[in-house]
Structure 1
Amino acid sequence: MQLLFINFEESFFILLVAFLIFGPQKMPYIARSLGKNLRYFHNVTQEMQRAIWEVTEKSPYNTVSKEPKTKSNEIDENLS
């Protein structure tokens, strides 16, 4: 199992070092703040993806890319 591109043994070692540095009293606070920050980061990335999707769907380039096809079809119909 990989977590953030590291395997289980590496993540266990990191947790052990953090436990030794910060102690058992601060570990719940650190884990809670890490969870809040990860949730915030996830929400921000979702908002950015949604905004980019809305902009690209309503982009003037979408209509411009369709116009040459319709104009060429009109020209072909007029020539026929």
Structure 2
Amino acid sequence: MPVFNIGPSELILVLILALVIFGPSKIPELGRTLGSGIREFRRATQEISTQFNSVLDEPKKEEKKEDKEDTKD
């Protein structure tokens, strides 16, 4: 699922510009840094989503608990 609508010609242009600006020795380091940044961003968004969903589920759990107690009486 591509995030950006970039075709092959645009991608080649971006890679050539990166090569000219940063030089061939810095490209692998930039790739690793970008990859680790994307992984950290995904991990953080997953953690936030999990916490958000658990907060939303708490009232539902309380309602179920109250329903069970009411049926016991």
- Given the superposition, is the C-alpha separation of residues 59 and 32 from structure 1 closer, same or farther in structure 2, using an over 3 Å criterion? same
Number of residue pairs the alignment of both structures matches: 63
For residues 15-74 of structure 1, give each alpha carbon's deviation from its aligned partner in whole angstroms, at most 9, with x where no partner exists: 1100111010000110000000000001001001111110111137x84xxxxxxxxxxx
Structure whose CA Rg is larger:
1
Corresponding residue number in structure 2 for 1:20: 20
Corresponding residue number in structure 2 for 1:11: 11
The answer for unaligned runs of 5 or more in structure 2 is: 64-73
Deviates more, 1:51-60 or 1:30-39: 51-60
Distance 2:7 2:34 in 1: 19
Instruction: Give the RMSD, CA atoms, in angstroms.
Output: 2.3
TM-score by length of 1: 0.66
Identity %: 32
Larger RCO, structures 1/2 (Cα 8 Å, 6+ apart): 2
Match for 2:19: what amino acid? F
The answer for unaligned runs of 5 or more in structure 1 is: 64-80
Distance 1:11 1:59 in 2: 48
8 A Cα contact 1:2 1:8, kept in partner: no
Match for 1:40: what amino acid? E
- Given the superposition, is the C-alpha separation of residues 56 and 49 from structure 1 closer, same or farther in structure 2, using an over 3 Å criterion? same
Secondary structure of the residue aligned to 2:25 is coil
Corresponding residue number in structure 2 for 1:53: 53
Structure 1 runs of 4+ with >4 Å offset? none
Corresponding residue number in structure 2 for 1:37: 37
TM-score by length of 2: 0.71
